[in-house]
A and B are shown apart, each in its own frame.
Chain A
Amino acid sequence: NAGVTQTPKFQVLKTGQSMTLQCAQDMNHEYMSWYRQDPGMGLRLIHYSVGAGITDQGEVPNGYNVSRSTTEDFPLRLLSAAPSQTSVYFCASSYSAGGDNSPLHFGNGTRLTVT
C-alpha cells in the first residue's frame, strides 16, 4: 500500500515556465488537498477537492490550478512559475471530506525552486 505518492521530489524551474506536480493516492480517499510550506510559515492550504470533479480554493490559490478527474489523482499546475512559488509542496488525502474524522495522510513533498 503506497499511500500518498508525490512526484517529482525535487524540481528547479525558471521564471515563467510551467509544470505539474503530481499527487496520487491508492486508498480510495474522497478528500485531497495541496499545501505549501515556507520557512517560518507553517502549512498553508492552496486548493482542495472533496471528490472527483469537485475542487475549491484554499488560503493561497493564486498562481495555481487543480483538477480532479479521478478519485486517485490530484495534480497541481503552475502555469507561469514565479520565484515567490519557491517552496515545499505537500499533498494530503483523507477517507472523507467531513462527517467523520478520518485523519489526513501526507505525501513526502516536492521541493520546488524557481529561479
Chain B
Amino acid sequence: DAKTTQPNSMESNEEEPVHLPCNHSTISGTDYIHWYRQLPSQGPEYVIHGLTSNVNNRMASLAIAEDRKSSTLILHRATLRDAAVYYCILRLNSGGSNYKLTFGKGTLLTVNP
C-alpha cells in the first residue's frame, strides 16, 4: 500500500496561514490524495481531496507537487477552531486493497492565540 509521511506536530499563530506537508513518494498514477482532520473528542471529518491539480474549497486549499510525490494542505487564516490532528491519506481509484483505507498518525496542529 502507498504510504504517507507527515510531521508529528506543527504550531501556528491565529490569523496566519498554515502549510501542512505530506510526503507520498510511492504514490501511483491513480491514487487520489485525501485530507481529513479530527477535532478533539470528535470523529474525523473530510477536508479536501485532489489528483493532480491544485484544489480549493471553503475549508482549505490543496497544493499538489508536479511529480505528485508530495502535497500541502493550506489553511489560509488559522483560527483556534482549526486546532486538530490532520491526516493525509491516499485513496486508490480501483478495487482490491483500495478498500483498506489506512490512516497514519497525522499532524497535530496547535494554534496559538
Spell out A's residues near B (CB within 8 Å): 4, 31, 33, 35, 40-45, 48, 50, 56, 58-59, 90, 92, 97-101, 103-109
Selected contact of A109 from candidates B43, B99, B106, CB within 8 Å: B43
Interchain nearest-CB distance for A30 vs B (Å): 10
B-side residues, CB < 8 A to A, are 32, 34, 36, 42-46, 49, 51, 87, 91-95, 98-106
Number of A-B contacts (CB under 8 A): 69
Verify A45–B100 contact, CB threshold 8 A.
yes
- Closest chain-B Cβ to A44's Cβ sits at a distance in Å of 8
CB distance from B9 to the nearest CB of A (A): 12
User: A92 → chain B, closest Cβ, in Å?
Assistant: 8
A98 adjacent to B99 (CB under 8 Å): yes
Task: Kindly identify which residue among A4, A41, A56 contacts B99, using a CB–CB cutoff of 8 Å.
Answer: A56
Whether A43 lies near B44 (C-beta < 8 A) is: yes
16 pairs across A/B with beta carbons < 8 Å?
Answer: A42-B87, A42-B103, A42-B104, A45-B100, A45-B102, A45-B103, A48-B99, A48-B101, A92-B43, A98-B94, A99-B94, A101-B32, A103-B34, A103-B46, A104-B46, A107-B43
